[in-house]
Amino acid sequence: MDSLIYSLNATVPIFAVIFLSYLLKQRGFFKESFISGADKVIFQLFLPVLLFRDIAEGRITETFDLTFFLFCMISTVVYVFAIWGGAELFMKDKTMIGAFTQGAFRGSLAVLGVAFIQNIYGDAGLAPLMIVATVPLYNIFAVIVLTVRSNEPVAGGDSMIRATLKGILRNPIILGIIAGLPFSLLEIQFPTMINKTLDLIAAPATPLALVTIGAGFEGAKAIKKIKPTIIASVIKLVILPAIFLPIAVFMGFRNQALVSILIMTGAPSTVSGYIMAKNMNADYVLSSSIIVLTTAVSVFTMTLALYIMRSFALI
């Protein structure tokens, strides 16, 4: 019973905020302009500052785990190409491969990942290290698979890849993490005035991000292209955690590291995948369907995964 309560305490508050925001959107509380504006300020300001603060206040020399970092990187490469290869072999409609592959591997790490770990442990923990190890690879692989499997010829594919690499280097979340590293390494203590300012800016990041996820949720789109949507969702929420979490346990990862790996492998697909698919002539309807279904079902899969890990005293 204690393990179940622990798991519900970790997941229910997060998805309750998402569900409440969805209901409020149906009642006209949120306009599209609010959602798009909130997404922008979360991505460009609140979340980077939150990660900067947590990195700067921590001691990277004490918390950095090279084995964990490499595990995240290598695992990402393995499952991306396994999913893509499987899609090439078994999907008859080749126009869906790009959106299917991206939806099955690319999770909402920075938003939901930080929210989960923060809710359980009180800070971002090892989430920034996992994000640095995986998010650049996610962006690179998403561009490659969507370019190769675009439904229409994409002009300037090479320049698009270069532009994406520049985008990674300019990514506010990555920059926030990198900016915090010198303060952590040099053990610089901020004055109280700066600490309180950072806390106020970082505070809205998680709750506002959950609000925008719920307010932007479009349930009707999940019924379209249901078969590939279900297959991609099962891969994203069930198969990847079922394969890589036991490996992580065998390698000795516990607590925050194990929860971070659960987020990496089992978080629902990210909304940015839909935006990228739409702008790269991929099957954005399928992409949207995968995002909707994985977001809806992940409340159950994430709770179950945490329950199992808690029951075996792994977290």
* DSSP assignments along 105-129, one per residue: H-B-IIIIIHHHHHHHHSS-TTHHH
At residue 61, the pLDDT reads 64
Examine the pLDDT at 38 and tell me if it is beyond 90: no
Contacts of 185 (CB under 8 A, 6+ apart): 60, 61
Q: What is the DSSP string of 197-263?
A: HHHHHHTTHHHHHHHHHHHT--GGGGGTTHHHHHHHHHIIIIIHHHHHHHHHHHTT--HHHHHHHHH
The answer to whether residues 52 and 198 touch, using CB atoms and an 8 Å cutoff, is yes
User: How far is the C-alpha of 127 from the C-alpha of 256, rounded, in Å?
Assistant: 8
Across residues 108-121, what is the average pLDDT? 76
> Is the full-model pTM beyond 0.85?
no
Write phi, then psi, for 86 (nearest 5 degrees): -65, -40
| Residue type (1 letter), 141 | F
pLDDT-derived band at 221 (thresholds 50, 70, 90) equals: low
pLDDT-derived band at 85 (thresholds 50, 70, 90) equals: very high
Helices (runs of H) and strands (runs of E) counted in the chain: 17, 0
Distance, CA of 282 to chain centre:
21
pLDDT digits (tens, 9 = 90+) for 115-161: 777 777 776 667 778 888 888 888 788 878 887 776 665 555 556 56
The per-residue b/e assignment along 71-90, b for 16 or more CB within 10 angstroms, e otherwise, is bbbebbeebbebbbebbeee
- Select from 118, 63, 66 the least CA-distant residue to 251: 66
Contacts of 20 (CB under 8 A, 6+ apart): 214
Write phi, then psi, for 107 (nearest 5 degrees): -100, 165
User: In Å, how far are 44, 48, 88, 195, 216 from 32, measured between CA atoms?
Assistant: 18, 23, 36, 33, 8
- Percent of the chain topping pLDDT 70: 89
User: In Å, how far are 46, 75, 105, 135, 235 from 79, measured between CA atoms?
Assistant: 31, 6, 7, 14, 10
Contacts of 96 (CB under 8 A, 6+ apart): 225, 228, 283, 286
With residue 266 as reference, give the H or E element that holds it: helix 255-266
At residue 208, the pLDDT reads 87
User: How far is the C-alpha of 145 from the C-alpha of 140, rounded, in Å?
Assistant: 9
Strand partners, 269: 107
- Percent of the chain topping pLDDT 90: 29
Top pLDDT among 180 and 100 is at 100
The answer to whether residues 211 and 89 touch, using CB atoms and an 8 Å cutoff, is no
Write phi, then psi, for 29 (nearest 5 degrees): -75, -30
